[in-house]
């Protein structure tokens, strides 16, 4: 085992808020079949069962298991073991951080990493991704790559199996041909000039910092159906446990909305595949709320709302605008039901009932047999005060700057013309917006 894998001091991720701890006992969930995973230079606990092949997980003598996985047909022989004492059958699984191949043998793992390390040093491999991966976004070291599940079946199968260890509801592992995978990576900046100390000797850096294998790492991914009849822009999403709580999930969600092309003619307004898990719903409610807040303050779902706070100008007559939930969805790329869910979560609505006289259908047809008079139907108008949005953002410690930068998108998603007109409308942080 190379010294670059500090197993004893590795990250342990089974936090108090993890779904493995909080899920209801009444739900029959398959027992975890793997206790811990070693992903390159990190080791952490798993949360859920994943259908890895029996010859890897069970044995009977796991030392005879080979590192190279079998075909897709062999993988389908993985069997669920829901009963038993609840102890994982495989205490530790070693997973390659470059191709997500797996083995229970530490020696095979070290040999496999050495192959990738050599390829990196020779310049034959630059990213922990298949060669066919296409970069769609890059900003400040973070990049999102598109991978075709049909072309790179083995990589996507292995990635799905690994992701299932932390996703309770994921069901696609082997038939990846109908999906595209969008993998998030982070590449460390080029090292600066070494610092010398004492008699001109270099200050020694850690093995991990010098290891070319970990200069670029996979942090998470999301998948998307090539053809979704429901208009879903995302099937499943995961940020690996050691990299969570860094707003990376928000970044992936923003990319998924951008790639749906909702801004352009022929684009699709959609959302994540439902039903959402408890953790997924919580994450998306936060994402949708921040997206709406940026829209209300900057009139753009991906606007930079810093100017709202820096320019505290007030207009004599606060700007008011009336729009429907559908119109808000069309201008943010969100489904109407998601807009309503986010607004309820934010708690910034003020309902103002107004009475409008509507004629009954019988009167419109000239038939008032039941003696129905004009009925007054109350149409509720919901008022959103922009100052309430600012208060909500401050109370929840929200940064209204978009998780993604338009300049970071590449290829067909690259930024074309930037229209700055109307930005001054966002300067009024005390105006009102009306939601019909």
Sole residue written with tokens 């994540």 = 272
The candidate with the shortest Cα–Cα distance to 350, out of 387, 391, 392, 384, is 384
SS3 392: helix
CB 386 within 8 A of CB 296: yes
d(CA 57, CA 68): 14
CB 66 within 8 A of CB 107: no
Catalytic residue selected from 125, 168, 225, 273: 273
Q: How far is CA 363 from CA 355, 378, 399, in A?
A: 19, 19, 53
Q: How far is CA 372 from CA 142, 358, 362, 375, 376, in A?
A: 65, 12, 8, 8, 12
CB 129 within 8 A of CB 72: no
Q: Which residues are CB-contacts of 314 (< 8 A; sequence separation ≥ 6)?
A: 428, 430
Annotated catalytic residue 273: yes
d(CA 386, CA 392): 10
H or E stretch at 219: strand 216-225
The candidate with the shortest Cα–Cα distance to 258, out of 274, 269, 244, 273, is 269
Helix 336-346 with 278-298: angle, nearest 10 deg = 90
Positions marked catalytic: 273
């Amino acid at each position: 085992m190379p010294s670059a894998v500090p197993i004893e001091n590795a990250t342990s991720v089974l936090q108090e808020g993890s779904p493995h701890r909080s899920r209801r006992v009444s739900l029959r969930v398959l027992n975890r079949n793997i206790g811990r995973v070693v992903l390159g230079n990190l080791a952490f606990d798993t949360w859920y069962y994943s259908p890895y092949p029996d010859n890897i997980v069970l044995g009977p003598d796991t030392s005879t298991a080979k590192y190279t996985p079998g075909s897709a047909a062999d993988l389908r022989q993985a069997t669920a073991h829901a009963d038993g004492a609840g102890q994982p059958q495989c205490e530790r699984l070693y997973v390659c951080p470059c191709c997500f191949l797996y083995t229970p043998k530490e020696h095979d793992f070290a040999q496999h990493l050495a192959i990738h390390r050599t390829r990196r040093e020779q310049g034959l491999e630059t990213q922990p991704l298949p060669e066919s991966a296409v970069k769609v976004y890059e900003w400040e070291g973070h990049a999102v790559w598109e991978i075709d599940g049909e072309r790179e079946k083995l990589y996507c199968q292995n990635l799905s199996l690994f992701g299932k260890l932390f996703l309770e509801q994921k069901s696609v592992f082997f038939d990846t041909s109908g999906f595209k995978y969008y993998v998030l990576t982070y590449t460390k900046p080029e090292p600066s000039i070494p610092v010398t100390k004492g008699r001109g000797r270099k200050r020694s850096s850690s093995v991990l910092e010098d290891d070319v294998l970990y200069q670029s790492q996979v942090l998470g991914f999301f998948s998307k159906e090539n053809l979704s009849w429901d208009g879903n822009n995302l099937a499943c999403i995961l940020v690996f446990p050691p990299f969570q709580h860094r707003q990376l999930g928000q970044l992936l969600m923003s990319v998924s909305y951008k790639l749906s092309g909702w801004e352009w003619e022929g684009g699709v307004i959609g959302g994540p595949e439902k039903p959402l898990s408890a953790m997924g719903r919580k994450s998306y409610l936060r994402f949708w709320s921040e997206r709406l807040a940026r829209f209300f303050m900057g009139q753009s779902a991906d606007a930079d709302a810093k100017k709202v706070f820096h320019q505290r100008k007030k207009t004599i007559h606060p700007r008011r605008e009336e729009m429907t939930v559908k119109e808000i969805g069309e201008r943010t790329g969100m489904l109407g039901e998601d807009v309503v869910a986010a607004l309820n979560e934010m708690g910034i609505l003020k309902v103002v009932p107004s009475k409008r006289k509507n004629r009954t259908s019988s009167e419109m047809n000239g038939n008032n047999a039941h003696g129905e008079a004009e009925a007054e139907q109350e149409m509720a108008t919901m008022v959103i005060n922009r100052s309430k949005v600012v208060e909500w953002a401050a109370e929840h410690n929200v940064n209204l700057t978009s998780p993604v930068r338009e300049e970071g998108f590449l290829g067909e998603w690259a930024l074309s013309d930037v229209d700055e007109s109307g930005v001054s409308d966002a300067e009024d942080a005390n105006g009102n917006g009306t939601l019909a």
